[in-house]
């Protein structure tokens, strides 16, 4: 594997100690968190919904197509000839450092662990517990098939858990692996796994180039001008994976999470041929209802090029 060099077209985002969102609002702090929790009026959520029909992906995909399976939350299985890629994998029951407390899943994964094919590359967008799930990563590493890709300064945690091989990427850097090129691109978000480590590691999205096709995985992000920067740098993606959940209340969430109408705007700015909604429908992280993001997206989408899949559903992208 060969590491690339950073792209000067993406803005500076590091002050020598911590990363930040350039020319954009920063993530809310502790006082804002307390205000949110004291004033929160969340929509009711069911304890659990047994409506997932798990699917069995093929071991490998032949031909020139792209099979995209939504597992759950931001976990997507991307299968093209010669490569199986997994984004932000989580099979755990909770998004938490502890097994007995924290946001609990309300739907099961759309692919059972036993039916998951070998994974060539695992893309981690940032270190929040619903995106960097160490129990799942340890299970993947134990299979011995995967290369792990994380944002800048994120490799130390994985290596401490014997998860690897792992490669760090800053915005604008590229990594070549057999059959693919992976590019790290900007996102507007933040990082932390505890009280004292905020923004010590980076957050990002990824553009994957394979067989003359471009896939954009946005990770977690607020709406911003980085979508136009990504389109200018790479062209219109054949597929975009765009987050639509964890957006209420807007006064608190807008610096770090898009609302469904903003995801539609991002889809249009990117001029994506197809987009698929991620980051919704599995874990309760904010005040909107379990399926409110899906309903809002369907209401504001202008055509059928923005798909909302259930856990376990897949789409074949030509």
For 159-203, write each residue's pLDDT tens digit.
999 999 999 999 999 999 888 999 999 999 999 999 899 999 999
- Please check whether residue 6 lies inside any domain of the structure: no
Residue 20: Cβ-neighbour burial (10 angstroms; 0-12, 13-18, 19+) = middle
Q: Give me the mean pLDDT over the 63-70 stretch.
A: 92
How far apart, in whole angstroms, are the C-alpha atoms of residue 219 and residue 216? 9
Element (H, E) at 146: none
- Please check whether residue 101 lies inside any domain of the structure: yes
For 4-42, write each residue's pLDDT tens digit.
335 666 888 999 999 999 999 999 998 999 999 999 899
For 75-130, write each residue's pLDDT tens digit.
999 999 989 999 999 999 999 887 777 899 999 999 999 999 999 999 999 999 99
Q: Which of 28-37, 83-92, 146-155, 228-237 shows the lowest mean pLDDT across its residues?
A: 28-37
Beta carbons of 124 and 148 less than 8 angstroms apart: yes
How far apart, in whole angstroms, are the C-alpha atoms of residue 68 and residue 316? 6
How far apart, in whole angstroms, are the C-alpha atoms of residue 13 and residue 186? 9
- Please check whether residue 14 lies inside any domain of the structure: no
Beta carbons of 180 and 83 less than 8 angstroms apart: yes
How far apart, in whole angstroms, are the C-alpha atoms of residue 176 and residue 207? 12
- Please check whether residue 5 lies inside any domain of the structure: no
Beta carbons of 47 and 212 less than 8 angstroms apart: no
How far apart, in whole angstroms, are the C-alpha atoms of residue 111 and residue 56? 6
Q: Is 278 helix (H, G, I), strand (E, B) or coil?
A: strand
- Please check whether residue 11 lies inside any domain of the structure: no
In Å, how far are 43, 71, 176, 258 from 246, measured between CA atoms? Answer: 12, 18, 33, 8
Question: Which CATH number fits the domain that encloses residue 110?
Answer: 3.60.15.10
Which residues constitute the domain of residue 84? 52-317
Q: Is 64 helix (H, G, I), strand (E, B) or coil?
A: coil
- Please check whether residue 57 lies inside any domain of the structure: yes
Task: Return the CA Rg of the chain.
Answer: 18
- Please check whether residue 17 lies inside any domain of the structure: no
- Please check whether residue 42 lies inside any domain of the structure: no
Neighbours of 39 (CB within 10 A): 11
Beta carbons of 177 and 152 less than 8 angstroms apart: no
How far apart, in whole angstroms, are the C-alpha atoms of residue 43 and residue 288? 5
Structure tokens at 295: 């309903």
The total number of structural domains that make up the chain: 1
């Amino acid at each position: 594997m060969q590491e690339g060099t950073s792209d000067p077209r993406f803005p500076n985002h590091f002050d020598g100690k911590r990363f930040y969102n350039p020319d954009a609002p920063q993530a809310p702090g502790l006082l804002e968190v307390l205000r949110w929790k004291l004033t929160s009026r969340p929509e009711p959520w069911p304890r659990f919904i047994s409506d997932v029909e798990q699917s069995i992906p093929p071991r490998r995909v032949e031909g020139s197509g792209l099979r995209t399976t939504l597992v759950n939350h931001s976990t997507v299985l991307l299968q093209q000839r010669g490569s199986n890629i997994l984004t932000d994998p989580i099979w755990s029951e909770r998004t938490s450092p502890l097994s007995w407390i924290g946001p609990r899943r309300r739907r099961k994964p759309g692919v059972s662990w036993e039916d998951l094919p070998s994974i060539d590359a695992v893309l981690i967008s940032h270190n929040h517990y619903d995106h960097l799930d160490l129990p799942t990563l340890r299970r993947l590493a134990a299979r011995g098939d995967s290369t792990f890709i994380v944002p800048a300064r994120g490799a130390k945690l994985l290596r401490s858990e014997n998860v690897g091989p792992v490669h760090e990427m800053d915005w604008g850097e590229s990594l070549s692996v057999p059959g693919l090129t992976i590019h790290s691109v900007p996102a507007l978000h933040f990082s932390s796994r505890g009280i004292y480590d905020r923004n010590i590691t980076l957050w990002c999205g990824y553009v994957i180039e394979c067989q003359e096709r471009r896939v954009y995985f946005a990770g977690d992000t607020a709406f911003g001008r980085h979508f136009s920067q990504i389109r200018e740098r790479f062209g219109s993606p054949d597929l975009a994976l765009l987050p639509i959940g964890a957006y209420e209340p807007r006064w608190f969430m807008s610096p770090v999470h898009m609302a469904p109408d903003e995801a539609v705007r991002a889809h249009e700015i990117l001029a994506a041929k197809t987009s698929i909604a991620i980051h919704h429908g599995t874990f309760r992280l904010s005040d909107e209802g379990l399926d409110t993001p899906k309903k809002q997206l369907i209401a504001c989408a202008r055509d059928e090029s923005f798909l909302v899949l259930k856990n376990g559903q897949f789409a074949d992208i030509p």
